[in-house]
Structure formats: structure tokens, C-alpha cells
Structure 1
Amino acid sequence: MQEKIKEIAARVRELRELSDFTVKEMAEYMQVSDEIYEKYESGSEDIPASILFEIAHKLRVDMATLLTGEEPRMNIFTVTRDEKGVSVERRKQYRYQNLAENFIHKKAEFFIVSVEPKSYGTKPETNSHPGQEFNYVLEGSLKVYIHNNEITLNKGDSIYFDSTYEHAMEALEGEPAKFLAAIM
């Protein structure tokens, strides 16, 4: 996994340099310190999916380009077979599987997100990113934290929200949860 993190970091750095953005400009856009952004580009710190999404937007590339190093090619349709999407463990509490990485000029990113249960008493780390997000629970139960609200979602429930607000998801009842996420 560490090698994959370094590969993604190298692609981000190369694309930033080719786009003539400074580290400072990128850090300001991502709303992180210059030091944290430099850690992302060096591969010494894993880049959260929400930050990768923002980097792709800023650099005007598809997120798949950052994840795989390949440009998406499909423009009529793309099929992702069960468990065959590009899998990325971007944050400790989530595992993402991209469902449409090979489609060019997507207007949204689609993921299956797996959330492992964690110890009680600690609220999960929140994140935010530009745009909107839709989540549909496939398995288990989730507690969604968003803008001073805590919402419990069970299998078959969904939520649509402004993802510029800090948010996080937590698996409940000591069981893993899985949801479909669409980020627009």
C-alpha cells in the first residue's frame, strides 16, 4: 500500500508542476498548511479521498488519472465488475472502491465505501470537499455526522448533502457498513 501512496503522490507533484501551480497555491486551495501539502506530495502522508477529489478538480484531470496513472478512455459507457473497481484505502476509517474510473469527463465520482467499526467514545475524523454528495446504505448501519447533526442510516436509507460542510460516517453496532457514495 505504501508504494501506491508514493505513486499517487508523484503523479500529483508532476501534474502540479506541469500546471504551473506552486505548493502554496495548492495548499491554500485545499485549505491545508504548506507542510501538510508537501507531505502529501512526498508520499509521507496519505492523501484523503476528499483532498484527491479537490486536487483533481484544481488540476483539471480525472481523479482516475491520479489514482491509476492512466487517462480514462471510455465515453459511451464503462462497466465495473463486482469487486473490480480501483480500490483505494485513503483514510483509516474508510476503504473506497471507484466504480467508474475509466469513463472520461465524468460529472460525478462513484464509490463503494466500506467502513469498519471502531472503538466507542471517539467521534470519527471529519472532512469536507467542494460539491455535493449522495450516500446510499448497502449494508449495516451508519451514523452520519454533518454540520452539528448526527443522523442514523440503516440499509436502504440515503442522504444527500452539501459536502462543503464537515462530515463523517461511522459504522454502528460493532459491524462493518458499506454504502454507495456519489460525489458531484
Structure 2
Amino acid sequence: MSHKPDDIIARVRELREILGLSQEEVADKLGIALDTFRQYETGQQSIPISTLNAVAELFHVDFTVLLTGDMPRMENYSLVRKGEGVKVERFPGYDFQSLAFNFKNRSMEPMLVSLDEYDDDKAPALVTHTGQEFNLVLAGKIKIVLGKHEFELGEGDSFYFDPRIPHGQRAVGGPAKFLTVINN
């Protein structure tokens, strides 16, 4: 099951309008520039996962609602078979699968991230968010930028960090896959 960024953008805009919130109010409550939020809503800029989580919290909906338009249904467990997670293509060369999308009231968000290698000039801006984050490289190599530090991780390497520090991940030497778990 694959979802396009345009679908997510439409849900964010629709929920904002249903709640009677202006773009200015949402940008202010998220702590981001109004122009940045407008770029998110028009698809000119990719919405970071951390911002989607913050939007879900602000709108009092589950993250899954933004991804799929549906509410999660499972209370005791959620089984997601290989390749059946909710797949979101954030931008060319970066997609993720939500691996617990159907579990109600999650306190963490496990995702399988696939990255293609890209040039430094095409690297997305570093992001910040609340909570804690864990990354485990499953295939290939990734470079993690955390503030002023850079770490190269290979298959089997893991990294646990404070995501309030500006950070980002990218593939090195070819495509890469990693598991990321973000707790809210």
C-alpha cells in the first residue's frame, strides 16, 4: 500500500481547514516559518516526518490518519508482513514504510527507510523533533549528520540519539535501508 506526498498534503490541508485553523496559526504552533508551512501545503517542500508527527499531535489525530486517511484499529498487536507497511515516498530517493500504522495509541513510530545516494547539493535540510530516535542499518551504508558531527554506519550498526539536535541521514556508496524508531 503506497501513499503519495500529495495525498498527505491534501489531508493536512483538509484537517487544518476542518479545525478552522489558519496557516499562520499552525505554523506558529509548530514553531516554523509561515513560508515553510505554505511550501509544505503546496508541495514545494517535503514535509519532514517529525513535522508530520507534530501536525498529528496538534490536530489530535493519529499519525496514521495523515498517512492513509484511516484510523488505526488494533489494540493488542499489529502484524505487518514484509512489504505491507504503509509506504510513503517523501521525495525522489527517500521513502519509508510505517511498520505499526494500524496500532492505536502508539508511543513510538517504527519505520523502514530506503535511501538512494544523492549529491551533497541535493541533500535535504537537517531536521529536529522531540522524543528520541534509534537507527539500525539493514543494508548498505548511511551517513548520519548530528549537529556538527558525522557518523558513517554500515550494515548491523546502530545509532541512538537526541533528535532535538539538527540531524539527517543519507546513503553512501549506493542505496541503503535502515530501521528507524522514533518515540514521541
Per the normalisation by structure 1, the TM-score is 0.88
Q: Which amino acid aligns with 1:178?
A: K
CA distance in 2 between partners of 1:163 and 1:65 (Å): 23
> In the aligned structure 2, how far is the partner of 1:164 from the partner of 1:92?
25
* Contact 1:49–1:91 (Cα < 8 Å) also in 2: no
Contact 1:132 1:183 (C-alpha < 8 Å) held by counterparts? yes
Aligned to 1:143: 143
Contact preservation (8 Å) 1:10, 1:42: no
Q: CA RMSD in A?
A: 2.0
Supply the distance in 1 between the matched residues of 2:146 and 2:136 (Cα, whole angstroms). Answer: 16
The structural deviation recorded for 1:39 is: 3.4
Q: Which whole-Å CA distance do the structure 2 matches of 1:24 and 1:127 have between them? A: 21
Using a 3 Å threshold, how does the CA distance of structure 1 residues 123 and 151 change in structure 2: closer, same or farther?
A: farther
**Deviation for aligned residue 1:180:** 0.3
Structure 1 range deviating more: 101-110 or 124-133: 124-133
Tell me the SS of whatever aligns to 1:140.
Answer: strand
Q: Percent identity?
A: 40
CA deviation map 1:2-55 (0-9, x unaligned) = x93333222212322333433212112333322331332344544222221211
**Secondary structure in structure 1 of the residue aligned to 2:4:** helix
State the one-letter code of the partner of 2:168.
Answer: A
In structure 2, runs of 5+ residues without a counterpart are: none
Q: Which residue in the other structure is 2:132 paired with?
A: 132
Residue matched to 1:19 = 19
**Residue 129 of structure 1: how far off its partner (Å):** 1.6
Residue in 2 that maps onto 1:177 = 176
Q: Deviation per CA, 1:96-115, whole angstroms, max 9, x where unpaired?
A: 11101111100011100011
Aligned residues: 180
Query: In structure 1, the residue corresponding to 2:96 is in which secondary structure?
Result: strand
Greater mean deviation of Cα atoms: 90-99 or 42-51: 42-51
Q: Does 1:100 align with 2:100?
A: yes
> Structure 2: how far apart are the matches of 1:29 and 1:55?
9
Residue pair 1:131, 1:162 contacting (<8 A) in 2 also: yes
Unpaired runs of at least 5, structure 1: none
Alignment partner, residue 40 of structure 1: 40
Deviates more, 1:29-38 or 1:79-88: 29-38
Change (3 A) 1:53 1:93: farther
Output the CA distance in 2 between the equivalents of 1:13 and 1:146. 31
Task: Write the distance in 2 (CA, Å) between the matches of 1:149 and 1:44.
Answer: 29
Find the aligned partners of 2:8 and 2:52 in 1 and give their Cα distance. 9
Displacement of 1:123 in angstroms is: 7.6
Counterpart AA for 1:24: E
Q: Distance in 2 between matches of 1:102 and 1:145?
A: 31
2: CA distance, partners of 1:97 / 1:163: 20
Which residue in 1 is equivalent to 2:83?
A: 83
CA distance in 2, matches of 1:159, 1:69: 32
Structure 1 counterpart of 2:153, one-letter code: L
Q: Is the 8 A contact 1:40 1:46 kept in 2?
A: yes
User: Which TM-score applies when normalising by structure 2?
Assistant: 0.88
